[in-house]
Amino acid sequence: MNSHRAVCNRLLWMQDSFGLTPDECVLQKTPFSFDVSVWEFFWPLMTGARLVLARPGGHRDSHYLAELIAAQQISTLHFVPSMLRVFLQEPRLEERCGSVTRVICSGEALTFDIQQRFFARFSAAHLYNMYGPTEAAIDVTAWECYRDTADPVVPIGRPIANTKIYILDEHMHPAPLEVPGELYIGGVAVGCGYHNRPRLTAERFLPDPFTREAGARIYRTGDLACWRTDGHIEYLGRTDFQVKVHGFRIEPGEIEATVQQHPTVRAAAVVARPDSTGDTRLVAYVVPNTDAVDSLPTTDEPVQEWGSIYDLYYRQDAPTADPLFNTAGWISSYTGQQMPEAEIRTWLHDTLVPVQAQQPRRVYEIGCGTGMLLFALAGGCSEYWASDPAGGAIAYVRQHLAQAQLAPEQVRLLVRPADDFSDIPQGYFDTLIINSVVHYFPTADYLLHVLRQAFKALAPGGMVLVGDVRNMHLLRAFHTSVQLFQAAPDLPIHQLRHRVQTQLLNEEQLTIDPAFFAALHHTDPQIARVEIRLKRSPYPTEHTRFRYNALLYKAADPATGPAVDTGVHWRHWQEDELTIDGLRAWLTQEQPRAAGVTDIFNARVLTDAIAVNLLLRPPHTPTTTAELRRQISGTNQRGIDPDRLRDMGESLGYTVQVGWSPNDAACFDVLFTRPDSTPPPLPIADPQRANRSGSGRAMPTIRSNRY
Ligand code: AMP
């Protein structure tokens, strides 16, 4: 609780010292839960200067701030030093921000380095370092920075009007000049205490031993400081563990205590430390409690969220030309717009190919949504069971059964989450579909649980299609690709990197390493074969570039199952310097029964993978988004679209499998087999590499990049 008197004192001192005039303009950008916002609002209002409000959140976006300063001719503004450091990386500040005459820093230590960078970019503006805790009405000391100084320390100056600063030792005696002590604040600025926290108030707000004034108190800051011989104060750090991150006061101990409440954590330590870009981050180190991890109950929360997706998308009153092909909810992450129908039709066709190859008669589809697959498949089936956690989606499908000429007894509709297999017959279905919903599952364990049940429901020889799985190894590439697409050309690279990082941190959907499915194959004897398929489509959508389908086959009767041909002749795209023409010539002349090519640069994601690498390696990064775009443009010419090899192989009479390279997520592998042979599935995970036969050469691992 601060007094009106203290705030007025602070504002009047400011006007007395700086003399803001009506022809000046102050930027208000600090969120109003921070005390700095008080002077940003009231100082211009008191003096008749112009007040410009930044958009909410704008204080974090230095590109936006520079534009706003230029457009509004801002003269005075505030920065916490860490944000000033970021802002100073903005291009062309000299031309864009010539109106700025006064920059006020407070909230964290202002370093010599930031001061120097400021003066290098702003030739005429003044820079101030103010210090003070919220408990004492905003700021209690002030310092004007010198342009030409070799002093490596930026002091916090002297007390402002009607304010006293004491630097005391542990016996509450004033510390001698240049000797560190704890900083205490006295005078009109001292607040009234913490609301409803009498004990804490008594600990921090003490009777002032240096005055006879009745009721006067001093505030104990916890800051270490010393008086310099020139009469100014130097800030030295904290007496406790409190840290400042982007101007926020943080007690790492509070975070440690919260992290430790989690059952899987045995111990935790939290520190504030610079990341690779020099920005301060909180990092929590934990010692896991391994016993608890195994016994953790699975949460059903995100599944409920999945249920509400229907409300978000499908129930929109968007008219659909064909209700049996309801494309509501197909929103591009790049444009935020509905995806074109042709792209979705191609996607649907590609998804249906392996299902139709199975000649399905009894299907169970988990997560049928508005029935795009159901309406395409159910007509040819004797039974089509479909479930979805969204009652609205199931009602939609039921409503349109007649239009799709489906009899109600042919289609059984269930409202339930994916893991509810009650009343689902075992060993019954020839095809089970879990398409484009796995990313809504809460954990990989949940997926595993669903797949185990799905396998029980499957008849021998049956197949589970897990469609549209987001590739974990390409998650960063995906977010980079979207952010790069959306960014303005002059967006500084550090902000692009920050946006990607934020997307990664906020990512809530499940992404799966293709090796997860390979591991299933090794641990569950019921699973006879696992295939990972890259999508076939001429459209470079997020579905075709960053997602894949997994096909899991249940063992048929072993006596009747065909033996798999294992004699694959393997070649390496990069080391063997292959080209499409060279490969075609080889397949035509040699006519191998089974030929595989590994580590072919994937034109669909290569550019994004290169962008990821450039963004992650600071010394070589370009400085703006436009420069990054220039650097990566054309790099995908080194890549091959998987469909080109698929088309080429098929034109020569081969059956073609295309999957991700286990070595490098920006590459793919391809396997050509004669239709009369039974090909092995393409290896999915590294350990299988060693088993490859053919060229007789062990496959070297190029790199194990994830993007
Ligand atoms: P707040 O209440 O959020 O303003 O935080 C107050 C704390 O921020 C102080 O106790 C100091 O630890 C730190 N602080 C504020 N201004 C400065 C400054 N100019 N230099 C160093 N530390 C500062």
Residue-wise pLDDT for 515-560, tens only, equals 999 888 888 888 889 999 999 999 999 999 999 999 999 988 654 5
| Residues 474/407, Cβ–Cβ less than 8 Å | no
Q: Which ligand 1 atom is at minimum distance from the Cα of 235?
A: 21
- Mean of pLDDT values over 337-342: 91
Has residue 129 got a pLDDT over 80? yes
Q: Which of 32, 34, 106, 236 to mutate to test the pocket of ligand 1 (most atoms within 8 A of CB)?
A: 106
Has residue 581 got a pLDDT over 60? yes
3-state DSSP call for residue 266? strand
Rounded Cα gap, residues 640 and 674, in angstroms? 23
Q: Which of 35, 240, 249 to mutate to test the pocket of ligand 1 (most atoms within 8 A of CB)?
A: 249
Q: How far is the CA of 2 from the centre of ligand 1 (A)?
A: 17
List, as one string, the DSSP characters of 331-362.
Answer: B-TTTSSBPPHHHHHHHHHHHHHHHHHT--SE
| Residues 569/596, Cβ–Cβ less than 8 Å | yes
Rounded Cα gap, residues 102 and 337, in angstroms? 43
Has residue 315 got a pLDDT over 90? no
Q: How far is the CA of 234 from the centre of ligand 1 (A)?
A: 12
Q: Which ligand 1 atom is at minimum distance from the Cα of 36?
A: 4
The CA distances from residue 246 to 238, 273, 274, 277, 280, in Å, are 16, 12, 12, 14, 7
**Closest by alpha carbon to 699, among 685, 707, 516, 603?**
685
Q: How far is the CA of 621 from the centre of ligand 1 (A)?
A: 33
- Mean of pLDDT values over 109-133: 96
Residues in contact with 19: Cβ distance below 8 Å, sequence separation at least 6, in sequence order: none
Q: Which ligand 1 atom is at minimum distance from the Cα of 242?
A: 12
Phi/psi of residue 357, each to 5°?
Answer: -60, -25
H or E stretch covering 557? none
Q: For strand 181-187 and strand 217-227, is the pairing parallel, antiparallel, or unpaired?
A: antiparallel
Taking CA atoms only, the protein residue closest to ligand 1 atom 1 is 133
Q: Which residues pair with 512 in a beta bridge?
A: 471
Phi/psi of residue 62, each to 5°?
Answer: -70, -30
- Model pLDDT for residues 229-243, shown as the tens digit of each residue: 999 999 999 999 999
- Mean of pLDDT values over 274-286: 84
Q: Which of 244, 250, 251 to mutate to test the pocket of ligand 1 (most atoms within 8 A of CB)?
A: 244
**Chain position carrying tokens 């702003």:** 122
Has residue 296 got a pLDDT over 70? no
Q: How far is the CA of 308 from the centre of ligand 1 (A)?
A: 44
Q: How far is the CA of 237 from the centre of ligand 1 (A)?
A: 10
Q: How far is the CA of 248 from the centre of ligand 1 (A)?
A: 9
Has residue 694 got a pLDDT over 50? no
Global pTM exceeds 0.85: no
- pLDDT of 562: 55
- Mean of pLDDT values over 678-682: 79
- Model pLDDT for residues 591-603, shown as the tens digit of each residue: 998 999 999 999 9
Question: What share of the chain has pLDDT > 70, as a percent?
Answer: 90
Has residue 317 got a pLDDT over 70? no
Has residue 579 got a pLDDT over 60? yes
What residues line ligand 1, using a CB cutoff of 6 Å?
106-110, 129-131, 133-134, 156, 221, 223, 235, 244, 249
The identity of residue 249, as a single letter, is: R
- Mean of pLDDT values over 130-147: 97
Rounded Cα gap, residues 569 and 695, in angstroms? 6
List, as one string, the DSSP characters of 50-63.
Answer: EEEEPPTTGGG-HH
Rounded Cα gap, residues 434 and 466, in angstroms? 5
Residues in contact with 396: Cβ distance below 8 Å, sequence separation at least 6, in sequence order: 314, 326, 370, 371
Q: Which ligand 1 atom is at minimum distance from the Cα of 156?
A: 19
Mean pLDDT of the chain: 90
Model confidence at 375, pLDDT cuts 50, 70, 90, reads very high
Taking CA atoms only, the protein residue closest to ligand 1 atom 23 is 108
* 413 or 304: which leads in pLDDT: 413
Has residue 492 got a pLDDT over 60? yes
Rounded Cα gap, residues 420 and 216, in angstroms? 67
Rounded Cα gap, residues 156 and 232, in angstroms? 7
- Mean of pLDDT values over 451-467: 96
Q: How far is the CA of 615 from the centre of ligand 1 (A)?
A: 32
End-to-end Cα distance, the chain: 49
- Model pLDDT for residues 343-352, shown as the tens digit of each residue: 999 999 999 9
- pLDDT of 88: 95
Longest dimension (CA), the chain: 104
Has residue 697 got a pLDDT over 70? no
Token code pair at residue 664: 């490098």
* 689 or 309: which leads in pLDDT: 309
Model confidence at 193, pLDDT cuts 50, 70, 90, reads very high
Most confident of 203-207, 502-506, 522-526, 571-575: 203-207
Rounded Cα gap, residues 244 and 125, in angstroms? 26
- pLDDT of 92: 92
Dihedral sign for Cα 134, 136, 137, 141, please: negative
H or E stretch covering 640? none
- pLDDT of 350: 96
- Model pLDDT for residues 399-446, shown as the tens digit of each residue: 999 999 999 889 999 999 999 999 999 999 999 999 999 999 999 999
